[in-house]
Structure 1
Amino acid sequence: MSEESSSLTWRPLTRDDAKASADLLNAMESVDGFGEYYEEEDTLQELIDPYTDLERGSLAAFDGDVMAGFMTTRYQPVAEEVHRVVMDGGVAPGYRRRGIGSRLLKAGVAAAGELHARHHPALRLAVDVHKPESLAGLAELLRSRGFAPVHYYQRMERLLGDAIPDAAMPAGLRAEPWSERNDEEFRLIRNEAFKDDKLRAPMTADSWRSKITNQTFRPAASFLLRDEASGAPAGMLVTMSWDADTAATGIRDARFMFVATMPDYRRRGAAGALIGHALRAAAEQGYDRAVVEADSASPVGAFGLYERAGFAPKLRFVSWALEV
């Protein structure tokens, strides 16, 4: 441990750290430039996540009242075969290269092990980290602890001032906006569509409320596809938007967090029509840009689907994993 690192105050995070967390993340953004800004309400949402055990699974370094770095871990309430604990964190630009990141990573792996022992001791453990590929020094740090890259994702963007191509809705399907009545269908479609993706655990109702239908959720730009004959849900698109991003950049983004179709409705043009429908709605509602994150190895060709809808790649993310 470096002398500078040991001179800091180290303790688990609490809900009262939301403002300091937002300040740290915004300081990181000013240097790293990934297009992600935060308000206190945004970071508080992360701190009150029902599956983030702050006492056992977090650690932060403070220099007085300033947060120099942090680490959080999030366990899965339900898991099969492999329990995947997601780790997040960062170090403020002025405190980098002092050993803080290394200490936080080591603590995160240890915390993941403790959470695993409490919740799913009979399963195998994997610790996941999802970060932009261009984050300086991250790859070397993760490799030094045994992490390996396992998946790649591409952030793609589309300006909404451009002409939006018309994609006819397949016969027998209709789009309806999100409502409290169909909310549970959104969640079930998400879980069914990604059930074979080992990096996306099923979302419980609590997790859905915490992660999705919070203050960043935009119901008017979120849509469910329904089979008119059977009434069955066929697909969905969830839109979220961060006010902090708009305030910092002047650009109002519609982030398509989930775009999913049920297996029986794939390869029929449903996803393309749903994206086109959401793009037009977002433009009409005053959004300036649409943003998605595409799985580079998607079995249903997500990258090409978004390209055809006018999206262009901007930033690549890497999912790293430590199999324990």
Structure 2
Amino acid sequence: MDTIWRPMGTDDAAGLATLLAAAEAVDEFGEHYDEDDVREHFMADTIDLEHDTRVAVRDGTIVACGAVVGQVVMREVHTVWCSGVVDPGHRRQGIGRELLTWQLARAEELHRARFGGAPASLGIDIGEHHEGRRALARELGLEPVRHWFEMNRTLDGAVPDVVAPDGITIEPFAWDRDDEVRRAHNVAFRGHYGSTERTPQEWKSWFTGSKAFRPDLSVLALDHQGDVGGYALAYVYVADNVASGRNEVFLGQIGTLPSCRSTGAGRALLAAALAAWKAAGIDAASLGVDSENGTGALGLYERAGFAVTKRSSSWARQLGALTASDAT
């Protein structure tokens, strides 16, 4: 069967949504996309469709898709992520290998164009049960570099009391503080694995500009000077909730500035978010956390009633820094 490879187009949303639904039925990532989600996720202004995406087409049907997204701002290492999926009915036919091979080559090309000889990490995420993807990743020179937990809790029981520490005020998210929150996020996650400075454009595309973002379910911690010292940003993914049949919120980002750590501000933020969600009639909450997070986040979430329900890993091919002799 002939396979045609081409970049994604803006008119591919319906075909991609169908492909992703077929894959989800088998892979059980817990991620569902309607056509608007596809446009937002794959066709954002931050993605170069012509150069950084590919779809595989057989008999007029999209049977695989992939994208390459590189950090715009680099810290110590430039991270480039490859995401993709193959229709279950067309697997084990070499499509996934061809797609990931192209993605890794494009990821290195994108990295060299942006940051030259700087070190880079070219990576993919793999769920704990996806043995075939692990085997392919290993064969193409990737290794596991990080492990992640998805955590969940229901909201039908009691939630922790909100106890703000001295000098900290918990308030609802306010749009006039949006860019201040972005800048606080950049500081809060400095030094975390894979983190980078988020530009205003990225913030608009992936964070508070997302259609899933819920300002009414998000909270801020203000320090004694009235500045943002912490934040908890909530998202509701409608397609996921339609599929699951419950009203769930996702805690996309929670962070505190170094000056507010070890004060109880993070605990107060999480408690305030849980209280807001429960008051809004939310059934359950979920979040993702780095298993090696050095700020004690895992323990914070466990004490707030969250439990690990899924695991995944980041696999990467590492590119060392090029020397002057390498470039000649």
User: 1:234-293 CA distances to partner (integer Å, 9 max, x unpaired)?
Assistant: 100010111001111111111001110111111121111111110110111121111011
SS at match of 1:137: helix
Hey, what does 2:137 align to over in structure 1?
Answer: 142
Instruction: After superposing the two structures, state which structure 1 stretch, 92-101 or 74-83, moved more.
Output: 74-83
Amino acid at match of 1:115: L
| Counterpart check, 1:193 vs 2:195 | no
Amino acid at match of 2:213: F
| Counterpart check, 1:220 vs 2:216 | yes
Looking at structure 2, the residues matched to 225 and 322 of structure 1 have their Cα atoms a distance apart, in angstroms, of 38
Looking at structure 1, the residues matched to 60 and 162 of structure 2 have their Cα atoms a distance apart, in angstroms, of 53
Hey, what does 1:206 align to over in structure 2?
Answer: 201
Looking at structure 2, the residues matched to 88 and 283 of structure 1 have their Cα atoms a distance apart, in angstroms, of 34
Hey, what does 1:161 align to over in structure 2?
Answer: 156
Amino acid at match of 1:219: P
Looking at structure 2, the residues matched to 134 and 148 of structure 1 have their Cα atoms a distance apart, in angstroms, of 16
1:81 deviation in Å? 4.3
Question: Do the aligned partners of 1:49 and 1:207 also contact (CA within 8 Å) in 2?
Answer: no
Decide which of 171, 176, 179 is 1:176's aligned counterpart: 171
Looking at structure 1, the residues matched to 35 and 174 of structure 2 have their Cα atoms a distance apart, in angstroms, of 27
Looking at structure 2, the residues matched to 129 and 68 of structure 1 have their Cα atoms a distance apart, in angstroms, of 19
Looking at structure 2, the residues matched to 204 and 163 of structure 1 have their Cα atoms a distance apart, in angstroms, of 38
Question: Do the aligned partners of 2:291 and 2:298 also contact (CA within 8 Å) in 1?
Answer: yes
Q: How many residues align?
A: 318
- Map 1:93-108; keep pairs closer than 5 Å: 93-108=88-103
Gaps of 5+ in 2: 320-328
Looking at structure 2, the residues matched to 72 and 121 of structure 1 have their Cα atoms a distance apart, in angstroms, of 21
1:50 deviation in Å? 3.0
Question: Do the aligned partners of 1:154 and 1:315 also contact (CA within 8 Å) in 2?
Answer: yes
TM-score (norm 1): 0.94
Question: Do the aligned partners of 1:157 and 1:290 also contact (CA within 8 Å) in 2?
Answer: yes
Hey, what does 2:52 align to over in structure 1?
Answer: 57
Decide which of 8, 15, 33 is 2:10's aligned counterpart: 15
Question: Do the aligned partners of 2:33 and 2:239 also contact (CA within 8 Å) in 1?
Answer: yes
SS at match of 1:16: helix
Gaps of 5+ in 1: none
User: 1:43-101 CA distances to partner (integer Å, 9 max, x unpaired)?
Assistant: 10123323322211111111234221111001222214432111100111111111111
Aligned identity (percent) is: 36
Amino acid at match of 1:218: R
Amino acid at match of 2:21: N
Looking at structure 2, the residues matched to 186 and 26 of structure 1 have their Cα atoms a distance apart, in angstroms, of 34
Looking at structure 1, the residues matched to 44 and 76 of structure 2 have their Cα atoms a distance apart, in angstroms, of 24
Instruction: After superposing the two structures, state which structure 1 stretch, 12-21 or 214-223, moved more.
Output: 12-21
Hey, what does 1:296 align to over in structure 2?
Answer: 291
| Counterpart check, 1:127 vs 2:122 | yes
TM-score (norm 2): 0.93
Question: Do the aligned partners of 1:251 and 1:288 also contact (CA within 8 Å) in 2?
Answer: yes
User: 1:99-118 CA distances to partner (integer Å, 9 max, x unpaired)?
Assistant: 11100000001111221232
- Map 1:269-288; keep pairs closer than 5 Å: 269-288=264-283
User: 1:211-238 CA distances to partner (integer Å, 9 max, x unpaired)?
Assistant: 01211101101111001x3112110001
Looking at structure 2, the residues matched to 199 and 117 of structure 1 have their Cα atoms a distance apart, in angstroms, of 18
Question: Do the aligned partners of 1:58 and 1:111 also contact (CA within 8 Å) in 2?
Answer: no
Hey, what does 2:41 align to over in structure 1?
Answer: 46
Question: Do the aligned partners of 1:37 and 1:244 also contact (CA within 8 Å) in 2?
Answer: yes
1:141 deviation in Å? 0.7
Looking at structure 2, the residues matched to 19 and 204 of structure 1 have their Cα atoms a distance apart, in angstroms, of 30
Decide which of 246, 255, 258 is 2:253's aligned counterpart: 258
Task: Describe the shift of the 1:34–1:47 C-alpha distance in structure 2 as closer, same or farther (beyond 3 A).
Answer: closer
Question: Do the aligned partners of 2:107 and 2:122 also contact (CA within 8 Å) in 1?
Answer: yes
Amino acid at match of 2:242: A
Looking at structure 1, the residues matched to 173 and 161 of structure 2 have their Cα atoms a distance apart, in angstroms, of 22
